Amino acid sequence: MATYPGSVLTIDLDAIAANWQSLDARIGDAECGAVVKANGYGLGQDEVSKALVGVGCRTFFVATLDEGIRLRGTIGPEHRIYVFNSLHGRETAVDFDAHKLSPVLNTREDIEFWSGYAQNGGRSNTVIEIDTGMNRLGLSPPEAEKIAEDAGLLAPLSLDFVMSHLACADEAADPMNEKQRQLFDKLISLFPDVPASLANSGGIFLGPGYHHDIARPGAALYGISEATGASEPMQQVVGLKAKILQIRIVDSESGVGYGASRRVPKGARLATVGVGYADGFLRSLGNSGHGYAAGIKVPVAGRISMDLTTFDVSDVPENRLLPGDHIDLICPEYSVDDIARDAGTIGYEILTSLGSRYTRVYEGGAA
């Protein structure tokens, strides 16, 4: 956290909790877990996970062993933690054991190692991932069929569930969704009495056929709606204010910023704030993004610099905006989805790019 606040990132833990409760209600009898990888999508794994525990979440997902170890220290021993990017090997197995973490197994080699480890007294709780069309991680369908037939290989393991990942869940009409669902349902029938998990955030909104036994929402928890195919807006979680360092009145028509890519007329008023692409205000927002100053929409003028961004505030009355005031970069009028659209990316990248130089203020929940 910055010692001398210039730009303030506000994170509403109650909104995260409310988003989880909304998703939990939507999936009925299925369990709603939470993905808190990448430092809680950039918003703080510790604070986010505590808020989710407070409203009843009991199952968490992270990407790496390091993330899992930290999360275990935050939420205590009674909750389930699964690590997506598991590595086989004696050294990591000991750490999984010590911190009561469960690996997601993606290859036959992984399964063979963990089966042998469990047979010799090591941790047996695990998950098997099957690839149903992403061509990323997981067993291929033929490999899954062979594994399912190998009772001796699976016997030492305690399979908490079998999972797969949807490739196009943000587009409800994409036929890939139904193709993956049908293949997944066929493959999980080879693992009788083992729970199943298919739905990510977008999968939850595709309907009951995708919910199975446990859902794994991530982005929707953090207020992302468009890139998750949400049928209703999620509560906005973050706000970002940047302090104005200088306001200048242009004395003749001229360019703004590197490359002079934006021309402004004589008399234009420009406000420069201390936020740039090093803070996750993406360079692609140059001449395309905007903010809000004194409640008025103001466009980004010129390219984004590493530490600075300039806005054209000509439409804001002079007496309503002074150096030291703030421009809202993320706010109710300009959401994470909005800024992602202007940057030509997705809300996931906006959240996970938010830099370490902001003063972070947590509201509600475990704040």
258 included as an active-site residue:
yes
Angle between helices 108-119 and 141-149 (to 10 degrees): 30
Distance, in Å, from the CA atom of 333 to the CA atom of 301, rounded to the nearest integer, reads: 19
Cβ pair 167, 176 in contact under 8 A: yes
Q: Of 4, 146, 258, 292, which one is the catalytic site residue?
A: 258
**Residue burial 316-340, b: 16+ Cβ < 10 Å; e: rest:** beeeebeeebbbbbbbeebbbbbbb
Distance, in Å, from the CA atom of 161 to the CA atom of 261, rounded to the nearest integer, reads: 54
Q: What is the DSSP string of 240-261?
A: EEEEEEEEEE-SSSEEETGGG-
Quote the Cα angle for 67-72-75, to 5°.
120
37 included as an active-site residue:
yes
Cβ pair 354, 42 in contact under 8 A: yes
Element (H, E) at 351: helix 347-353
Q: Of 37, 241, 334, 358, which one is the catalytic site residue?
A: 37
One-letter identity of residue 331 = C
**3-state DSSP assignment of residue 168:** coil
- Mind telling me the catalytic residues? 37, 258
